[in-house]
């Protein structure tokens, strides 16, 4: 049997996560990356700022800033969450999977992922 590459997926079905994700989206209903680009996107825009024509992509997600990879402390840490639109969420995840670390930076401009080469 093939090994599940994401054995932590069940965490996303827990009541604690659903509550946390809901609270995050209530606290910050706009995509954090779109905000940095000067746009207020509650899911009605694409990552490029044009109207989101695809109804199935009209939402925002609660995203982990530092990838948790099953680490429950990181997974359930409200300070490790940000709101993203689907375009920015997908783009960041692809970069992370290709490189093996996140390029996201904290307010001081320094990469927040402990696996980032700058933190090695
Ligand atoms: Zn966005």
pLDDT in tens, 34-75: 999 999 999 999 999 999 999 999 999 999 998 898 999 999
Cα of 16 to ligand 1 centre, how many Å? 25
Cα of 9 to ligand 1 centre, how many Å? 24
Distance, CA of 111 to chain centre: 15
Cα of 57 to ligand 1 centre, how many Å? 11
Cα of 83 to ligand 1 centre, how many Å? 9
Name which of 61, 71, 66 is nearest 18 in CA terms: 61
Cα of 1 to ligand 1 centre, how many Å? 37
This prediction has a pTM of: 0.83
Cα of 34 to ligand 1 centre, how many Å? 4
| Dihedral Cα 71, 63, 110, 40, nearest 10 deg | -170
Tell me the mean pLDDT in the region 66-89. 94
Residue spans per domain, the chain: 28-102
């Amino acid at each position: 049997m093939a090994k599940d590459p994401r054995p932590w997926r069940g965490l996303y079905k827990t009541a604690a996560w659903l509550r946390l994700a809901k609270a995050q989206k209530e606290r910050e209903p706009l995509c954090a990356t779109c905000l940095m680009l000067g746009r207020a996107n509650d899911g009605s825009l694409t990552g490029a700022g044009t109207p989101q024509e695809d109804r199935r992509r009209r939402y925002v997600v609660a995203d982990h800033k530092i990838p948790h990879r099953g680490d429950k402390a990181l997974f359930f840490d409200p300070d490790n969450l940000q709101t993203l639109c689907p375009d920015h969420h997908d783009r960041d995840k692809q970069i992370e999977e290709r490189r093996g670390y996140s390029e996201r930076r904290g307010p001081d401009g320094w990469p927040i992922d402990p696996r980032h080469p700058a933190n090695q």
